[in-house]
Structure formats: structure tokens, C-alpha cells
């Protein structure tokens, strides 16, 4: 890869890219027997056949070593009304589940209730890109859709469709 030169103002870049509206997901896994989860909006469908997804995790997060070493994940696409779940899994600290109920899925990853879409995945590859790592995952199990309205992230705010 060629050297990427850092020529743009970071604040302006964040503002500009914040206008790319996305859904919001919580990615969960288990580390040392403890359920771990993080809110992400970098979720992206990469390939349908084979089914591959990615999300990015920042190098500075204390959850970075957990997510780059994990073998399995559950990806929860948040539904309208799950603002509290979004903020709970975006706060600093390792333990973000609090009192939220969860159960282990087919892969052992913690499953949260009431998400719009729940996918269980296996880790495929981690690629370093700047100050984040790209985590590539293959989809192992697709749970039935639950509802039809997503939670969105646009211009720094969580919104309904």
C-alpha cells in the first residue's frame, strides 16, 4: 500500500463523513468468560457469496485487543427505540452489558434481544488501516428479522428513519 498522507483537518473530515448516514450495530463477543460489546457504525456488507461483513475498531479503544483476537461475534443491527442500547455500548469501559439480558448464540457470542437483525459470525482476518483495524467476518447464522425500522446515525446524532 502507498503511504497515506494526512493532509485534511480531522474535525472537518469527521463533520463531512458524519453526513454519510448509517445504521448502528452492536458487536458482541466473549473474552475470558465475560460478555463484551461495542457500538459501531462502520458495519459494512462486503460479499454475499461467501457472506462476509466487516467493522472497524479503533486502536485506542481498550476493547481493540478483544475484538481483534476474538474468534466469534454476534452483530446486532439496532432497531428504532434502541437508543439506550446504542449509548450503553458506546460508553468507555470494558463491561458495558450492565443489567441487559443476553443469552449465548450458536457460536457462544452473547445475543441481545429486540435487535432488528442479528447475525452470528466467525473471524476471518484483521487488516490494519490507519488508526483503526478492519475486522473481516464470515456470516455463520442469520436470525429471523425482528421489526422493520432501523436506528440511524447522521451528523453526530442518533435518529429514527
CA dist 108 and 105 (Å) reads 5
Sole binder of ligand FAD in the list 30, 54, 56, 135 (CB under 6 A): 56
d(CA 35, CA 31): 7
Closer of 3 and 95 to ligand FAD (Cβ): 95
Give the gyration radius of the chain's Cα atoms. Answer: 16
Cβ at position 99, least distance to ligand FAD in Å: 17
Interaction of residue 75 with ligand FAD, rule CB under 6 A = no
* C-alpha cell at position 112: 441481545
- What is the C-alpha separation between 153 and 161, in angstroms, rounded? 10
Q: Does the protein bind ligand FAD through residue 68 (CB under 6 A)?
A: no
Give the interface segment with ligand FAD, choosing from 6-14, 70-78, 88-96, 122-130 (CB under 6 A): 88-96
98 binds ligand FAD (CB under 6 A): no
Amino acid at each position: 500500500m502507498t503511504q497515506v498522507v494526512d493532509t485534511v483537518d480531522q474535525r472537518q473530515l469527521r463533520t463531512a463523513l458524519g453526513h454519510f448516514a448509517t445504521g448502528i450495530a452492536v458487536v458482541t463477543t466473549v473474552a475470558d468468560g465475560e460478555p463484551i460489546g461495542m457500538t459501531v457504525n462502520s458495519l459494512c456488507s462486503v460479499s454475499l457469496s461467501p457472506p462476509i461483513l466487516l467493522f472497524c475498531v479503533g486502536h485506542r479503544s481498550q476493547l481493540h485487543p478483544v475484538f481483534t483476537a476474538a474468534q466469534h461475534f454476534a452483530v446486532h443491527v439496532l432497531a428504532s427505540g434502541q437508543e439506550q442500547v446504542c449509548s450503553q455500548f458506546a460508553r468507555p469501559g470494558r463491561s458495558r452489558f450492565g443489567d441487559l439480558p443476553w443469552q449465548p448464540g450458536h457460536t457462544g457470542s452473547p445475543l441481545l434481544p429486540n435487535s432488528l437483525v442479528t447475525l452470528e459470525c466467525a473471524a476471518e482476518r484483521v487488516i490494519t488501516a490507519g488508526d483503526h483495524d478492519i475486522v473481516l467476518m464470515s456470516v455463520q447464522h442469520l436470525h429471523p428479522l425482528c421489526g422493520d425500522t432501523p436506528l440511524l446515525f447522521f451528523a453526530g446524532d442518533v435518529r429514527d428513519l
